[in-house]
Amino acid sequence: MEKRVVFRSPWLPWVLMAPQLTGIAVFFFWPAAQALLQSLQQSDAFGGSVEWVGLENFRNLWNDPGYLASFYTTALFSSLVAVLGIAISLLLAVFADRIVKGTLVYSTLLIWPYAVAPAVAGVLWLFMFAPSVGVVSYGLRAMGFDWNHLLNGTHAMALVVMAAVWKQISYNFLFFLAGLQSIPKSLIEAAAIDGARPWRRFWTIVFPLLSPTTFFLLVINMVYAFFDTFAIVDAATQGGPGKDTSILVYKVYYDGFKAMDQGSSAAQSVVLMVIVVALTVVQFRFVEKKVNY
């Protein structure tokens, strides 16, 4: 029989939730409402005059080839960040779960990157891959590979993907390691006694039991790739060369603060919010069906 908590006062639950609801209203719903209002307006660079234009800003977006190209760039970038980040983190967590000695040191070293700010992570990888003074680029040239993310769009995309994945690995690693340690060892030992090899044990026992964790991290990593990677892109490539790494969130910033087109920037932020919400709904609607709780 399920136990339910009953409050004597009908106002007490609302009082307890008030701080959280206030934070959500102030930092999410109010800015979202402001962005929606500004997307229907057109103002000058200094906000001196405001003109109501309706859906014109949205129509201009679909007629802008640069904006449509940023969709492909964002799809490629977010897919690589989510897939590579989850796969590498899972591999590291499996190794950490098998280590008998030095587990604490190994885990601590893997957690450190999460303490680095995104902008700092972008600068770190920028210095390592700088064409003139970068240690990694020097090693690549010694092997006959001419690295130059300032001129090559593929190299620039690889740079921001590596920086974004490195920054998020620690977060994914913690959840995967906790999930692996919660799996009963008796199940794995029973499969080993039955003759199942390590690879088969992983895919038939371990990975299905990790599906709730994997699904959660998939949603988190997609949101991270769409929003929280702005500082990495800005610090490492500034959307270049050309617009090859100009993802949607960076284009919102560029058009709003550099091109001073606030109406278009607000419209882009609304579209970006709708895309992320739609992707999250789709993931919960279809991907969650394959999750075993």
Averaged over 170-192, what is the pLDDT? 88
> pTM of the prediction?
0.88
- The better pLDDT of the pair 17, 45 is held by 17
Residue 288, pLDDT score: 65
**The pLDDT value given to residue 187:** 84
Closest listed residue to residue 80, CA positions, set 165, 148, 6: 165
Average pLDDT of the chain, as a whole number: 88
Q: Is the pLDDT of residue 256 over 70?
A: yes
Q: How confident is the model at residue 254 (pLDDT cuts 50, 70, 90)?
A: very high
pLDDT tens readout for residues 100-152 = 676 777 777 888 888 889 999 999 999 999 998 899 999 999 999 999 999 99
- What's the pLDDT at 3? 66
Q: Which residue has the higher pLDDT, 280 or 120?
A: 120
pLDDT at 1: 52
The answer to whether residue 160 scores a pLDDT higher than 70 is yes
Read off the pLDDT band of 277 (50, 70, 90): confident
191-244 per-position pLDDT tens digit: 888 888 888 888 888 888 898 899 889 989 999 999 999 999 999 999 989 899
Q: What percent of the chain has pLDDT over 70?
A: 93
